A and B are shown apart, each in its own frame.
Chain A
Amino acid sequence: MINLIWLHEDALRSSHKVFAEAQENFQTVFIWDEAYFRQMDYSFKRLVFIYETVCELPCDIYKGEAFEVLSSLARSNEAKILYFPQTPNPALKLIAQNLSKTLDVVIVPDEPFVVLDKELNLRRFFNYWKIAQNRAFQHNGGD
């Protein structure tokens, strides 16, 4: 059994917490998903930037639709868990949600800029800054 880490375009870093979370016995995958890139309407420049970044990372690159590739790898690896770096991106979240029907999807949050202990009024930056300011100037956001 080899579990999967899906390194998507919002988490292209070898120090992402997702690696520590998966511990051992995992395969890390980036997917060249033409349908997704077309949906995002990315320029060639953007794709080169992303691909150059992925080439430096400890992962395999597969071509195909993300859902299909990950489902297929999960079957051949007999994977139980898909580690998924947290993202607000609805398109990626939907794919992860669909995969959660057959796999245990573990969402791994990124390191925070600041941890806020109050509920946020998101209408204006000013409201956020009042709460975040102190911790924003601390190493690791005071964490």
Chain B
Amino acid sequence: MLTKLQKQFSNRVQLTNYLAELSPWLNDKSASPIQGGEKAALALLELIDPIGYGITRNYIDGNVTYLSPYIRHGILTLNKVRNEALAKCSNHEQIETFIKELAWRDFWQRIYYLNPHWIWQDIELYKTGFQSADYSESLPLDIAEANTGIAIIDYFASQLVQTGYIHNHGRMYLASYIIHWRRIKWQAGARWFLQHLLDGDPASNNLSWQWVASTFSNKPYIFNLENVKKYASPDMDISPESNKPLNATYEELNKILFPLRVSQND
């Protein structure tokens, strides 16, 4: 006998309570502020500003679209979003950044179709001076619990778990910190992101982690506090004393994080 589930709810709390009973294996039973559904997706799609996106998207409070969870689950197609951007602006140069970001998702999906084994394996060797075996297998609790003592890392880690969404720069900072500062395998971080991000997609997520790790790029991605300051939102604690391990020049960081690679290059 098949069990048919309820589809009509008078409000979101009722739906959440119903799902809580259907999910006994999960501890945290809170919903994200991001609402699912085609109606919500289409309302956001109307609001996109593809020109503004190109100018401010790198800023944590910049003009991003928040469409990614809807694209991830097929609620919106890349085609539809692109067509909407073209309808809003016919000057291709002004919307190049926006269209290119959609193209990145298309690129990742094509890889997923053609080379699914790339998703969890190192595609290339690390270019950090270390071997894969030098990296730890699992994500330490202080990161998962947003308790590293590094303000901006804890800011994004906590946002990930509490909302299911982080700005792209926050994702890059977290990934870089986990892989290069803590020397943890990218797979451990990628699993954590996939668990919590509403837009978590094995291709976009894991291949981006590999890009940061340098197993799918020519060099590791690192950042420093100066870079964070440039793009930070006002609610972030970007003081040097709260972010000590990040407060250095790229030259200093390269020596600290990749001592073998630097000496190889000398």
Interface residues of B in 1-21 (CB under 8 A from A): 2-9, 12, 15-16, 19-20
Q: Are B92 and A137 in contact (CB under 8 A)?
A: yes
B26 CB-CB contact with A under 8 Å: yes
Give the Cβ gap from B194 to chain A, nearest Cβ, in Å: 7
Chain A residues with CB under 8 A of B202: 89
Q: Which of B29-37, B167-175, B225-233 is found at the contact surface with chain A?
A: B29-37
Chain A residues with CB under 8 A of B73: 9-10, 12, 49-50, 53
What class of interface size applies to chain B in its complex with A? 35 or more
Chain A residues with CB under 8 A of B197: 46
Q: Are A140 and B36 in contact (CB under 8 A)?
A: no
Chain B residues with CB under 8 A of A128: 103, 106-107, 110
Q: Are B194 and A88 in contact (CB under 8 A)?
A: no
Query: Given A10-B74, A55-B9, A88-B113: A136 and B28 within 8 A (CB)?
Result: no
Q: Are A51 and B79 in contact (CB under 8 A)?
A: no
Contact of B110 among A45, A56, A69, A122 (CB under 8 A): A122
B259 CB-CB contact with A under 8 Å: no
1/0 contact string of A110-129 vs chain B (CB within 8 Å): 11111000001010010011
Q: Are A73 and B2 in contact (CB under 8 A)?
A: yes
Query: Given A41-B194, A64-B3, A128-B110: A53 and B37 within 8 A (CB)?
Result: yes
Which residue of B is nearest A9, CB measured? B73
Contact of B82 among A9, A40, A136 (CB under 8 A): A136
Q: Are A44 and B4 in contact (CB under 8 A)?
A: no
Give the Cβ gap from B102 to chain A, nearest Cβ, in Å: 7
Which residue of B is nearest A69, CB measured? B2
CA distance A41 to B27 in the complex (A): 12
Which residue of B is nearest A56, CB measured? B37
Give the Cβ gap from B77 to chain A, nearest Cβ, in Å: 5
Chain B residues with CB under 8 A of A34: 22-23, 25
